[in-house]
């Protein structure tokens, strides 16, 4: 039963992702957003590197079945996985069961107040591929360097 506001007409996924980026920067986490992993043909919303661990966060407003598929695929190489949904999202009993049985965590985005809250901690993904995880972490580190270089102003350019 839902007591609060809900609608399927509101999609705030971009707002959620923007707020998550700000939140992770504030926590000084090393993370990358929208980074394609060709080995599983997925583009996770967020990958966080913390103490050699790889954490995945998948954001969805309404399509929870697809989010669970994404989480399962990304759990193949990530230590921890989190679903990230808005507080108005209608969650089925099946979704809740899948979330609990998988050991994935849950992060809620308060749509009106623009607040992020971790409401269910994630358990360790035991069956992850450690070689693929290391490869992905190395690629993320290189990509973060490249993204940072793109933002820096090059003062040594040839004008002529």
> Number of C-alpha atoms within 13 angstroms, CB side, residue 13?
16
pLDDT score recorded for residue 8: 53
Sheet strand arrangement including 46-50 = 30-33, 46-50, 53-59, 80-86, 105-110, 115-120
pLDDT tens digits, 110-140 = 999 999 999 999 999 987 789 999 999 999 9
Least confident of 15-29, 57-71, 102-116, 142-156: 142-156
Given a cut of 80, whether residue 5 has pLDDT beyond it is no
> DSSP string covering the chain, please?
---S---SS---HHHHHHHHHHHHHHTT-EEEES--BTTTTB--SEEEEETTEEEEEEE-SS-HHHHHHHHHHHTTT-SEEEEEEETT----HHHHHHHHHHT-EEEEEETTTTEEEEEEPPPP-TT--HHHHHHHHHHHHHHHHHHHHHHS--TT----
pLDDT tens digits, 70-100 = 999 999 999 999 999 998 888 889 999 999 9
Given a cut of 90, whether residue 108 has pLDDT beyond it is yes
Given a cut of 80, whether residue 157 has pLDDT beyond it is no
pLDDT tens digits, 139-154 = 999 999 998 888 777 6
What structural domains and CATH numbers belong to the chain?
Answer: 13-150 (3.40.1350.10)
β-bridge mates for residue 86, sequence order: 109
pLDDT score recorded for residue 33: 94
């Amino acid at each position: 039963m839902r007591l609060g506001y809900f609608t399927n007409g509101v999609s705030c996924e971009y707002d959620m992702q923007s707020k998550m980026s700000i939140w992770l920067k504030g926590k000084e986490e090393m993370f990358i957003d929208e980074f394609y992993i060709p080995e599983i043909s997925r583009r996770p919303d967020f990958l966080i590197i913390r103490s050699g661990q790889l954490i995945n966060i998948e954001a969805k407003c309404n399509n929870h079945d697809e989010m669970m598929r994404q989480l399962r695929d990304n759990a193949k190489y990530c230590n921890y996985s989190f679903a990230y949904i808005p507080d108005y999202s209608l969650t089925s009993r099946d979704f809740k069961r899948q979330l609990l049985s998988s050991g994935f965590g849950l992060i809620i985005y308060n749509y009106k107040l623009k607040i992020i809250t971790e409401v269910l901690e994630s358990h360790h993904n035991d069956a992850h591929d450690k070689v693929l995880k290391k490869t992905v972490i190395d690629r993320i580190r290189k990509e973060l360097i490249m993204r940072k270089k793109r933002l820096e102003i090059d003062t040594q350019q040839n004008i002529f």
